[in-house]
A and B are shown apart, each in its own frame.
Chain A
Amino acid sequence: MFLYVLSRIARALITVALIITLAFVILRMTGDPATIILGPDAPPEAYEAFRRNWGLDQPLFIQYLSYFAAILKGDLGQSMRDGRAALDVVMERVPLTLLLTVPALLFNLVIGITAGIFAALNRNSWIDRAIMTASVTGFTVPSFVMGLVLALIFAVKLKVLPSGGSETWQHTILPSVTMGLIGAAIIARFTRSAMLEVLGQPYIRTASAKGLNWTDVVIQHALPNAAIPTLTIIGFMIGSLVAGAVVVESIFSWPGVGRLLVGAVANRDLAVVQVILILIGFTMVLANLIVDLAYGVIDPRLRHSTPAK
């Protein structure tokens, strides 16, 4: 078990390092921050001073190494806009994004898993067909369309919810629901197929043959086994929620990390963009690490990683 945890953590760290590298390479190779931040009309000396100031005149490889060295010391650089620490700029937006993503995640799991289980238990009935139709709609519609449609219905037509901003708790509803619906659609589909697979297993028949009633068979025997494949998709879900926040926050003018990222990319505010990418990457890696560890808890076959006798 200890080795299992250790190997998962090592793998997670390598992934984070790769994300940092990738973010660095892509951002440095697409456009010159000096031109964008100082504007096209600044004198040549100003550009040079700016580049020297931020170390942009060094070869890319040296920049990369010093950047990495700084990260290991805990320094993630400064925003090129206002010179504040990039980490601070990002961190002050994080709580606002969590305000959307945490309810969205709960919505995801509760609605998605419940719907998936019900669809599987009532396979080929109208319940199943209704849930699966809703699910297909949910994950084929892009999030900006979903967001706009919801805003149109609830803000413009019915006028029951605000369409944008961040003043009251009502403002969180539409963006959270937008994110939650899409996630729920995907989770419902996965839960359904995981449940169907498990319900066809011989041990389910054994449980019934033992004299358990169907509800107990489902709760005690089917659900723990169906949870194993469903966990995988939940890991992806958590990561993609943060990424999905970029679009949804823009639609609903929510001042979270997502909108900050859109602004920072447009401005070539390298340090800020990088911190956000690292943050997203870190969340995904952390989510998958938690999922991997949860596997070990749920599935005894993984806990004993040495082959069975």
Chain B
Amino acid sequence: MVTKATLKAVDGVSFDLARGEVLGLVGESGCGKSTTARLTLGQLPPSAGEVIFEGKTVPSSRTQQWRNLRRHMQMIYQDPLGALDRRLPIIEQIAEPYTIHGIGGSRAERREKAQALMLQVGLRPDQASSYPHELSGGQRQRVVIARALALEPRLLVCDEPVSALDVSIQAQVLNLLDDLRRKTGFSALFISHDLKVVRQMADRVAVMYLGRIVEEGPPEDVFHAPLHPYTQALVSAAPSIHGNRGRNRIVLSGDPPNPVNVPGGCPFHPRCPVAVVRCRTDVPSLSREGDRAVSCHLAGSAGGGGFSPAPHPKSKALEAV
């Protein structure tokens, strides 16, 4: 018998996505990235708020209207093998969206289109009749991408699309997604725990912590001059092959708290190396100036349409270790 508790996986998240734009969503496990993805696609009903896609509210029930919208919103998952049917040759899986939505002409025409998609994502024509288990991880992810692109979606939600792939393959898939975006102009919600991957792909980035967006802005600004103490810690903890040792790394103490039991005040304050008394009581709101936004009492407005970052915990970092 489980004690009932409300889990606010996502709490008051607002973001917008322009046509052709890629919004990166970063954060650690349990921060609500994937829930946000499912809410966006209408796979989960929000308890409050709404998702508007091309001027229309995305319904969260499986209505005809939802199916029509879903044609234009596709998803790519972390585990390509789980997203594919083991018993079907890949060409049929790529052609499947046409069948589901009853478009794409005759069987032969659909097959032809699927073949064109295969070439587009860098699969060889002779692989058409292969089954998913006969392909490598990178090739499987190409199949998933081809299938997602079959209906020429206007929004692609990518949930950790390269996390299960080896470095050399990861680069292939990232390049492929980038090329396809240039070619077809889809918008994307790109979710990853890996800051470097997000920086590579995103036009704008939002950092999530415990179901809230704590910082948002252009990747170069967010990753090179982070405002929020959490972003500062994330950026400093990202292992890089260049000069990591010399870097002033901020090591946060403790684990992210349970989303069932979100701390009062700023949700980040128990782990925040620079928290002040006010952080324990007042919930900060996401304030916006120019193209940047931050949710922190200590990241003050610098005037003239900019923020000043929260103080760097240089001395405190050592205590936190």
Contact = CB atoms under 8 A, between A and B. Distances in A.
B2 interface: yes
Residue in B1, B2, B260 whose Cβ sees the most chain A Cβ within 10 Å = B1
Interface in B184-208: none
A307 interface: yes
Contacts of A307: 2, 260
A132 B258 CA distance: 47
B3 interface: yes
B258 A306 contact: no
Interface string A278-309: 00000000000000000000000000011101
A2 to B, nearest CB: 10
Contacts of A306: 2-3
A305 B1 contact: yes
A309 B1 contact: no
A305 B3 CA distance: 9
Contacts of B2: 305-307
A3 interface: yes
B267 to A, nearest CB: 16
Nearest to A306: B3
Interface residues on chain A, size class = under 10
Interface in B1-27: 1-3
A7 interface: yes
Nearest to B258: A309
Contacts of B1: 3-4, 7, 305
A5 to B, nearest CB: 11
A7 B258 CA distance: 27
Interface in B154-187: none
Contacts of A7: 1
Contacts of B258: 309
Nearest to B1: A3
A45 to B, nearest CB: 58
Contacts of A3: 1
Nearest to A308: B258
A4 B260 CA distance: 22
A301 to B, nearest CB: 13
A308 to B, nearest CB: 9
Nearest to A2: B1
Contacts of A4: 1
Interface in A55-107: none
Nearest to A4: B1
A154 B258 CA distance: 66
Interface string A204-240: 0000000000000000000000000000000000000
Contacts of B3: 306
A309 B260 CA distance: 9
Interface string B295-318: 000000000000000000000000
A104 B309 CA distance: 75
A306 B2 CA distance: 5
Interface string A1-44: 00110010000000000000000000000000000000000000
A285 B1 CA distance: 20
A307 B258 CA distance: 10
A216 to B, nearest CB: 33
Nearest to A6: B1
A290 B246 CA distance: 60
Contacts of A309: 258
Nearest to A309: B258
A306 B260 CA distance: 12
A233 to B, nearest CB: 26
Interface in A118-136: none
A7 B260 CA distance: 25
Interface string B235-276: 000000000000000000000001010000000000000000
A306 to B, nearest CB: 5
A309 B5 CA distance: 13
Nearest to A7: B1
Nearest to B261: A309
A4 B1 CA distance: 7
Nearest to A307: B2
A307 B5 CA distance: 10
B104 to A, nearest CB: 43
10 contacts: A3-B1, A4-B1, A7-B1, A305-B1, A305-B2, A306-B2, A306-B3, A307-B2, A307-B260, A309-B258
What are the 9 tightest A-B residue pairs by CB atom distance, in nearest-first order?
A: A3-B1, A309-B258, A306-B3, A7-B1, A305-B1, A306-B2, A305-B2, A307-B2, A4-B1
Given A4-B1, A305-B1, 8 more contacts: A3-B1, A7-B1, A305-B2, A306-B2, A306-B3, A307-B2, A307-B260, A309-B258
